[in-house]
Structure 1
């Protein structure tokens, strides 16, 4: 079993303001890497904002300050390699580029998706 894997996402997703949106992220391995960590970050110009972090080893699930109660990692997809993030109650300020970073002891890979917002 190789610890090397790839991470992929959709280039862009549209979220309706006031509704939930799923930011897709998929890893190419069917087995969850040892000590897997999943980090979702939002990139705003030169700043990086923590959206959500999950550490399998510690069963730790932590949302960034602005995303408490709004960001949820969809763990039911782990068995199929899905590490997508559900963002609840989309706000106009949520639009931007989000990066899904998946790390294991041996490997790290990431993919970005752009969240566009629609509706007011």
Structure 2
């Protein structure tokens, strides 16, 4: 995961969020939103949103909000973390940390990008055709390459099927030469 922080300041209130977060499938990912104020925030509503409020009562089990408040050197620090358990491609998007209080309104966004999902791979071989199946692949590969003894071979057929979870199943076949081994394949994004 890679993080960088941006800062937004209005009326003595500063907000820090990472502008972009890159994560690998299956990781637990935390998007942090830190608000620093010289005074206590009155009637503060502090939340993460995407297309809906993510810190409300309708949370899904794989996304949680964690709140914290502390006073450091006479400043008040408010932190609202959005925690993804087992991040997946459907979590990608732009998330907004929002603060509404008597001192003003603040908004800062974080873009979450998902990369490098690869599930299981299986191989089947007949007397004439070799087939590789890659499951739970993300992002969608541009091509599948077949190699035999260091030489690239022409693919007979490649099928890429998008699954409901935004991952892909990729099935690719190649005509076998004698002897049929060693072959290897790579899926390239």
Structures share fold, TM-score greater than 0.5: yes
* Structure 1 runs, 4 residues or longer, greater than 3 Å off: none
CA drift of 1:34 comes to 2.4
After TM superposition, the structure 1 = structure 2 runs for residues 1-120 of structure 1, keeping only pairs within 5 Å, are 4-29=12-37, 33-42=41-50, 49-53=51-55, 62-64=56-58, 67-75=59-67, 77-79=68-70, 80-120=77-117
Q: Does the CA contact (< 8 Å) of 1:31 and 1:81 recur in 2?
A: no
Instruction: Mark the runs of 5 or more structure 2 residues left unpaired by the alignment.
Output: 1-10, 71-76, 118-189
Q: What is the CA–CA distance in structure 2 between the aligned matches of 1:84 and 1:7, rounded to whole Å?
A: 13
Q: 3-state SS of the aligned residue for 1:28? A: strand
Q: What is the CA–CA distance in structure 1 between the aligned matches of 2:39 and 2:113, rounded to whole Å?
A: 31
Relative to structure 2, which stretch is displaced further, 21-30 or 110-119? Answer: 21-30
RMSD: 2.2
User: What TM-score results when the alignment is normalised by the length of structure 2?
Assistant: 0.47
CA drift of 1:4 comes to 4.4
User: What TM-score results when the alignment is normalised by the length of structure 1?
Assistant: 0.70
CA drift of 1:14 comes to 1.7
- Greater strand fraction, Structure 1 or Structure 2: 2
Q: What is the CA–CA distance in structure 2 between the aligned matches of 1:69 and 1:32, rounded to whole Å?
A: 32
* 1:56 aligned residue: none
Q: What is the CA–CA distance in structure 1 between the aligned matches of 2:19 and 2:89, rounded to whole Å?
A: 19
Q: Does the CA contact (< 8 Å) of 2:42 and 2:102 recur in 1?
A: yes
- Greater helix fraction, Structure 1 or Structure 2: 1
Higher RCO structure, 1 or 2 (CA under 8 Å, sep 6+): 1
